[in-house]
Amino acid sequence: MAKMEVKTSLLDDMIGVGDMVLLEPLTEDSFINNLKKRFDHNEVYTYIGSVVISINPYRSLPIYTPEKVEEYRNRNFYELSPHIFALSDEAYRSLRDQDKDQCILITGESGAGKTEASKLVMSYVAAVCGKGAEVNQVKEQLLQSNPVLEAFGNAKTVRNDNSSRFGKYMDIEFDFKGDPLGGVISNYLLEKSRVVKQPRGERNFHIFYQILSGASEDFLCKLKLERDFSRYNYLGLDSAKVNGVDDAANFRTVRNAMQIVGFMDHETQSVFEVVAAVLKLGNIEFKPESRVNGLDESKIKDKNELKEICELTGIDQSVLERAFSFRTVEAKQEKVSTTLNVAQAYYARDALAKNLYSRLFSWLVTRINESIKAQTKVRKKVMGVLDIYGFEIFEDNSFEQFIINYCNEKLQQIFIELTLKEEQEEYIREGIEWTHIEYFNNAIICDLIENNQTGILAMLDEECLRPGTVTDDTFLEKLNQVCATHQHFESRMSKCSRFLNDTSLPHSCFRIQHYAGKVMYQVEGFVDKNNDLLYRDLSQAMWKASHSLIKALFPEGNPAKINLKRPPTAGSQFKASVATLMKNLQTKNPNYIRCIKPNDKKAAHIFNDALVCHQIRYLGLLENVRVRRAGYAFRQAYEPCLERYKMLCKQTWPHWRGPARAGVEVLFNELEIPEEEFSFGRSKIFIRNPRTLFKLEDLRKQRLEDLATLIEKIYRGWKCRTRFLLMKKSQIVIASWYRRYAQQKKYQKIKSSAIIVQSYIRGWKARKLLRELKHQKRCNEAATIIAAYWHGTQVRREYRKFFRANAGRKIYEFTLQRLMQKYFLEMKNKMPSLSPIDKNWPARPYLFLDSTHKELKRIFHLWRCKKYRDQFTDQQKLIYEEKLEASELFKDKKALYPASVGQPFQGAYLEISKNPKYKKLKDAVDEKIIIAEVVNKINRANGKATSRIFLLTKNNVLLADQKSGNIKSEVPLGDVTKVSMSSQNDGFFAVHLKEGSEAAGKGDFLLSSDHLIEMATKLYRTTLSQTKQKLNIEISDEFLVQFRQDKVCVKFIQGSQKNGSIPTCKRKNNRLLEVAVP
């Protein structure tokens, strides 16, 4: 809805009919067509009075945003378009403001969107209730309980990728302010048979696939699981992967949710260990063996799986193996042990897996309840949310569908009763006469199922408890005897002969006429599923487990608490749970959400009329509409009714000053609506027929058009008058401004004329004065010139006799002086930049200035070099002094020198003080290190290189081992006599030592370095600084090196190398080392 739109009723801009109570005519076809029309326009919610019909769109719609939450917050139920938020808001406000406990019943078949609807209700309540750290924590725990229960209780079916395979009822508890305090969850009939077997195209419970997909390899190893689905017999492979479902991401979500809800780490670990044990139980296989006495028994084929299960659960392997092979039956004081054949062993295995998972799920619900329960003892308000399986009619219907449909019969019964009760209470509250409404009462069907004497559940329990041979066929025979005459029961074996020729009803089936239609049930499995037996040997084996959780799941296995009494059957347990649920719902104000699935393809934009029609029938929606319309189809409070329709009567338009009811009475009398079409309640007007309401809407629409025309006419007149007055006012303003402008222009013109006249007069006076001053000046100048000429004549007469002798020299000196002045002035403007490397210099203008020009160039260069040097820091001066020293030593002598000019001298190439590897070396050297570099020391014997650390300090030269940091040689600088190197592009150099010195015992050093120029320069400068003597640097392609007592010639030659550009050293004979330089 646009921001400028203001919607005050669901009747505004209505697509189809927003409330089915107003549908006219009311037929099944018109009902479906109205739903389809709204569905095609993305209107997935429709009302039946206060009941919300929700159609699953199978896609995301932008109608659940925080803005939508605020739009429906604290609004009247019928004020905006139908929405699940409207029902949630109505229920929450009734609970908060009127102190009425609420329940929201969500029903529909699998895939209709019940689970999503319950999430939306909870998220809306969480959004609109109070804020605060504790409140937010409670809300977060309530919301995060959903992912945990969905992972363990939901599965992918052919109808729904996230189908709830259990019923859930959550009581959310609030304080007097309407802030959540906690909650209590009840679960009903988990479909535990799915653990061991799934129909084709369906999956097991989500948690199995989530663990295998999302757990880390380390976690799977702890659980003794493998990631491959095909390794496990309990997992169906045809639907292991579901499009659009990320099991790995969902596993992380579940673990996070368990943490938020309050599960401890060891509890989470225990839960996943039980899940792993269930998964591995399916891999246990049995083989037959014959005993000596002729009885068949079973043995486990491969005991590796059994061993891993026992390691996970802490059960003794022999105890569990015996429990799978033997069964102990106790009667009074006697115990009889019998062997299990292969079929019985498989039954025992599957029964254990089902019971283990079912009890784990119940424990999870109990554990969640402990975390989310209200901590305070104050009186609490309660909102219940029931998300339970809808009516199911499959191709093959068994015990699970029978129980589910029984629950839906009870829900339909309470729905009709509470709806009629609500209608009757409203009529009484408003003082309207109540008329009896005819409707179908399904109590007869409920009685057929739950009657304590002749009900189907009672007979099933009786058959399970009966001694002797008990089978599904004997149970069906009993049904045929007891229920044969019941009008809602059908069977081929019934005494009623009308079904004998009904070939659509097999012999092993019976059919019940439910409120939603006929359902045929396969009797096979009814007895076993109702018994839900787990052999006592398995219970006792589980109780003996050292795994605390598994031991807690099987309290009946405790030998000290053996109870020979038969445990209650599954049917009787579910019947008691449903009775408790119905009793709970009776105490609360009901709110209904009826979910409908538009197609079986789980695809958006597809509306299957036949499928929707089937659901409408079994949800009893038409029956619901008829109940609501049996009396008055529409009711509305007087204030909004008068506000909406007051423009239809002159007396009430535009304002009614009296009570709202009196205004509505005047309005209806003016419109001449028949009295039988409406009735006045205490606070509401009741309209019997939808046609009357639509007539009012048509009149209102026409009147609104007339009012719009009137408003438009008045607005246009006002706009024209306003424009005229504005133009008149503007004309006056413009005229006044123009008159002002004209006077200003006139004044400016007079003023400028006066200024011109004044300027001409001042100009004439100034010119007159100027002429007088010029005349006076010319007179003075004339007198001066005459005097000057006269003085000149006198001087020339006096000096004429001297002039001819000195004229040439004076002229030469004057000319030379003028040329020098011109030269220096030009040089001032042509001086080059202050950069010492700038070679530019102005050209010499005259030949006689050649020496002066050169000297000036030299002086300028020296001056700018001094200016440049003055900018250096002490560190930079030292660097340039070293570079200058290197230039004097190696320029035009060593081919390696040009490459070193641009490289800065760093000295400490090894960070000895920072690297812990050289700590020993650092501790051994006390002096400041001038250079630290890795060099290659040439072996005297074969010419091969060994890495050494070269250290130069103020007093010594040191060589150390690169790996260990041990000092190999230490030479005082006074013992170094000479450094020899070649003139080529290599890094070899020899350090010659003083003969007879202690360091010269092994001879001179022949080394190779990548920083030869820097090392030689620093060695030269340091030696000069310490010994005050210059170190001899010899550059030659042949030089002698003292090796112990022998002298060896080192010769450098040119040649291509296998190693590319790396020089190599090779010993040719005892007296020659040859270095090949590329």
Going from the C-alpha of 206 to that of each of 202, 368, 1074, the distances in angstroms are 11, 19, 79
Q: Catalytic one among 34, 163, 442, 900?
A: 163
Q: How many CB atoms lie within 10 A of CB 872?
A: 13
Under 8 Å between Cβ of 386 and 187: no
Whole-number Å distance between alpha carbons of 1047 and 1070: 9
Asked if 173 is an active-site residue, the reply is no
Asked if 419 is an active-site residue, the reply is no
Going from the C-alpha of 397 to that of each of 478, 513, 521, the distances in angstroms are 20, 14, 5
Whole-number Å distance between alpha carbons of 317 and 323: 10
- Our measurement of the distance from residue 510's CA atom to the centroid of its chain's CA atoms, rounded to an integer in Å, reads 52
Look-up: residue for tokens 């009787």?
A: 572
Asked if 983 is an active-site residue, the reply is no
Q: Catalytic one among 16, 49, 108, 111?
A: 111
List phi, psi (to 5°) of 508. -95, 20
Residue 537, helix vs strand vs coil: helix
Q: In terms of DSSP bridges, do strands 1005-1008 and 988-993 run parallel, antiparallel, or are they unpaired?
A: antiparallel
SS (H, E, C) 625-690: HHHHHCCCCEEEEHHHHHHHHHHHCCCCCCCCCCCHHHHHHHHHHHHCCCHHHEEECCCEEEECCH
Asked if 390 is an active-site residue, the reply is yes
CA atoms within 13 A on the CB side of 21: 26
Q: Catalytic one among 49, 182, 390, 965?
A: 390
CA atoms within 13 A on the CB side of 337: 7
Whole-number Å distance between alpha carbons of 46 and 207: 35
Q: DSSP letter string over 942-975?
A: T--EEEEEEEEESSEEEEEETTT--EEEEEEGGG
170 pairs with which residues across the strands? 185, 385
Asked if 915 is an active-site residue, the reply is no
Q: Catalytic one among 34, 46, 115, 250?
A: 115
Express the helix, strand and coil content of the chain in percent, nearest 5 each: 50, 15, 30
Under 8 Å CB-to-CB from 86, ≥6 apart: which residues? 52, 72, 75, 77, 80
Asked if 392 is an active-site residue, the reply is yes
User: What are 713's two structure tokens?
Assistant: 């006419």
Q: DSSP letter string over 461-480?
A: HHHHHSSS---HHHHHHHHH
Under 8 Å between Cβ of 623 and 440: yes
Eight-state DSSP code of residue 1057: B
Asked if 1022 is an active-site residue, the reply is no
**Alpha-helical regions (H) of 52-193:** 66-72, 84-98, 114-128, 133-153
Whole-number Å distance between alpha carbons of 89 and 73: 6
Under 8 Å CB-to-CB from 494, ≥6 apart: which residues? 480, 483, 484
Look-up: residue for tokens 């009711």?
A: 635
**Alpha-helical regions (H) of 229-325:** 247-261, 265-281, 303-313, 317-325
User: What are 273's two structure tokens?
Assistant: 């260990």
Whole-number Å distance between alpha carbons of 1021 and 829: 44
Whole-number Å distance between alpha carbons of 1031 and 1011: 18
Q: Catalytic one among 160, 187, 494, 652?
A: 160
What is the H or E stretch that residue 706 is in?
helix 690-829
Look-up: residue for tokens 């409406």?
A: 678
List phi, psi (to 5°) of 864. -75, -30
Q: Catalytic one among 34, 81, 110, 652?
A: 110
Look-up: residue for tokens 């006012």?
A: 729
Asked if 398 is an active-site residue, the reply is no
Under 8 Å between Cβ of 461 and 569: yes
Q: Catalytic one among 164, 325, 419, 539?
A: 164
Under 8 Å CB-to-CB from 1053, ≥6 apart: which residues? 1074, 1075, 1076, 1077
Give me the active site residues, please: 110-111, 115, 160, 163-164, 390, 392
